[in-house]
Every structure is written in C-alpha cells, then in structure tokens.
Structure 1
Amino acid sequence: MNPNLVFLNSFLDVSEETFSKLAKISSYKKLEPGVLISKPGEVPNKIYMLTSGMMRAYLSDEKGKEFNKNFFMPFSFVASLTALIQKQASTLTYETLTECKVYELNFNDIQDLCKKDISISNLYNRILEHVFIRYEERQLELISMDATKRYLKLRKKIPDIDKLIPQYQIASYLSITAVQLSRIRKKIKAL
C-alpha cells in the first residue's frame, strides 16, 4: 500500500477515491536544506506533507535570536496553520533542516474540497485535532518537565537529533541555553 495513504489512514479510513482527489491537488517536491517554505510577514497559501527529511518552525526576535517552536519529522503536516486559517501574515519561519521530500498542497484547494466532499472534510478535521493534541502535549512538557526530561524525550522522538541539527537549535526548542544543553549532555554521559 502507498505509504502516504497509510499515513492518512492513521487519522481516518481514507478511500482510494478520496486519496486520488487529494493526489490531484498536490505536487511532489524535493527541497534542499535551508529552504524557507514560509516566511514572517508573508501570507502563506500552502501546506506540506513531509514524507522525508526534517523541518523546523521558528521565531526570530529583532536581534536575530531564533526560538524554535517545533521540529517536523516524516510523516507530518507542515504549515503556518494560524496564518492559513486567518488569512494573515505568518509570524514564524518554516525551514528545511535536511533534504526533504514533500507533497505541496494549496490550502484553498483543500478548503474547496472540504466543502464538496465529507470524507475530505472529516480527514481535515481529524488532522486539525491531531495538531491541537500535539500542541497541547508540547505546552504540558514545557510546564511540567525539567530540561533534562524534555531533552531525553526529544532524543527518544528523534534519536539522531544531535547529528542532524546544531546544538543551539535543540537548546532553543528546549527553552534553554546551549551551555545548559551541554551540561545536560555531560551529565547524561556520566550516568
């Protein structure tokens, strides 16, 4: 079975017909590391289904300091959902960290299909529910876990993270400094 269909079926039972409709409005792309798929100040209109590689969403302050909001691994949907839904400029930057393979979809095309096809509307709703649950889990991690536990959980989720991306990006995601992350790593090695 097509792995993309398997992924969609993890949200809801998707028929071949529904999958075909989605395939017709999507385009396959290979993206090099460092590609910005969404920039602050721009109103986005695309959503990406990441099938290979790693991406991130981050915020930059006026001094250029980056604050990582999220890392995306296959299979996941990547987009500035708030900006898409509200048709407003994004405050976040979405960037490929490694070579990525994605399916790009126009958000308006998805919305149009949702109005015509209850199966696609149901799938869309399930995906939004999944995104919300992940967001809430992340918020709970930040308020209930110390930095070491957050780091260990991140390493469990992305085992090669220390080889894939720079330490400062990991530290930013964990809401700590690179120095604190270095101390945590030393402490873990000593155990």
Structure 2
Amino acid sequence: MFNNDEFSDSFGHIPEETFLKIKGISEFKKFDPHVQLDELGKVPSKLYLLISGVMRCYITSESGKEFNKRFFFPMNFAGSLTALIKNAPSEVVYETITECSLYEIDYKELKQMCATDIVISNLYTVILEKVFMRYEKRQLELISMNASQRYLKLKEDIPNIDKLVPQYHIASYLSVTPVQMSRIRKKMKESQD
C-alpha cells in the first residue's frame, strides 16, 4: 500500500481529496511472476500503478519470438495506452517478471473524472507526458546507440537491472540475442579488470 506523499514524490503534489478519489477507482493486487495483465488481442480496461516488483511490455512476432519494448519498476504507470484510448484490442502484452504489487485503476472511470475534475485531468496529462518522454528517450537510444551503449545506459538508469531481470529479457530489450548479450557483458567485465 502507498500514500499520497509517495504518489506526490513521483507525480507532483495533488490534494489528499484527489488522491482518495483515484484510490477509490483503484484496486490493490498482488501477482506472481509471469502473469499477463494485458493480453494480446484483448481489450484492456485497467491502467496499472506498479508499487513493487518488475513488469515488462512486449510484442510477439509471427514466428512467436518475443521483443521487450519496456521494463517497469516501482512508481511507474503501465498499461496498453493505445488500446485503452481507442477501446481496441491490445497489440502488446504487459506481464509481471517478478512478484508484483500494484494498483489497477479503472481507465473509463479515470477518464470520466478527467472531464469533471481539473486536478485529475492535469494529473492525467502529467502521466501521459512522462509516458511520452520515456518512449521518446527509448526511440532515441535505439537510433543513436549501439547495443553496448544501450546496455550501459540501462545499467546507469537501473544499476541493479542484472539482478532484477533475466539476461534473455535484457537481451530482447536491447535487440540482441542472448549470445550477443553474453559477449557484451564479458567484454565489459574484461575492460574493468
């Protein structure tokens, strides 16, 4: 469970009344590892606020190969936003990597609140801005960095990533094979020695 101070630290100050309204359309849940929260081809209805644990968002190729788009860590919102906004089937999967505690927020109720409560509407805008900035940062990294640089950047952003996320997931996120990932890590270890 979390409180308004923790929420405000991550998303800006909101009045206690607003925090309680959002909490009122949310449900606290715990999930085991490898649980799909938003499934491919299903219309989602929830936005998630991750409190503890690690999640991922991935797509699957026609051959069945998975490609990780993003990792989510505590105090991050996750959810198939395009599908939620369009009320359409999700083209991505959101899945727990570790045990996770999170709040499921009813998206339709949140959007209805946005229409009548300027503070909630502004908060929604802040959340969307953070999502967009993360997306843009990821795109720039893919275009401008090689796999080793992307791995170093990931480790800089999340120093304990190797302990939290299996190597094959990190490899997929970096758009390399697990073998290439092993070589990158070996080369970095050798350069440190």
Fold shared by both chains (TM-score > 0.5): yes
Task: Report the TM-score, using the length of structure 2 for normalisation.
Answer: 0.94
- Equivalent pair of 1:5/1:19 in contact (CA under 8 Å): no
Contact 2:4 2:16 in 1 (8 A): no
Name the aligned partner's letter for residue 27 of structure 2: S
* 1:153 CA displacement: 1.2
Question: How far apart, in 1, do the equivalents of 2:11 and 2:163 lie?
Answer: 31
Equivalent in the alignment of 2:124: 124
Q: Percent identity?
A: 56
Runs of 4+ in structure 1 off by over 6 angstroms are none
2:77 aligns to what? 77
Contact 1:49 1:104 in 2 (8 A): yes
Alpha-carbon distance in structure 2 between the residues aligned to 1:159 and 1:10? 19
| Unpaired segments ≥5 residues, structure 2 | none
Distance 2:174 2:122 in 1: 33
Task: Quickly say closer, same or farther: Cα 1:26–1:108, change in 2 above 3 A.
Answer: same
SS in structure 2 of the partner of residue 62 of structure 1: coil
Which stretch has the larger CA shift, 165-174 or 77-86?
165-174
Greater Cα shift, 166-175 or 50-59: 166-175
Q: What TM-score comes out, normalization by structure 1 length?
A: 0.95
Shift of 1:146: 1.3
Q: Find the residue that maps to 1:34 and give its secondary structure.
A: coil
Residues 58, 94 of structure 1: 8 Å contact kept: yes
CA distance in structure 2 between the aligned counterparts of 1:87 and 1:8, rounded to whole angstroms:
29
1:140 corresponds to: 140
DSSP 3-state at the match of 1:104: strand
Find the aligned partners of 1:154 and 1:56 in 2 and give their Cα distance: 14
Alignment-derived partner of residue 26 in structure 1 = 26
Deviations 1:146-169 (A, max 9, x none): 111110111222223223332221
Q: What is the deviation of 1:9?
A: 4.7
C-alpha distance in 1, partners of 2:30/2:149? 34
RMSD, aligned CA:
1.3
Instruction: Name the CA shift for 1:5/1:89 in 2 (closer, same or farther; >3 Å).
Output: farther
Between 1:166-175 and 1:116-125, the stretch displaced more is 166-175
Aligned residues: 190
Paired with 1:173 and 1:33, the residues of 2 have a C-alpha distance of 18
Structure 1: runs of 5+ lacking an equivalent:
none
Cα 1:165–1:10 shift into 2, 3 Å: closer
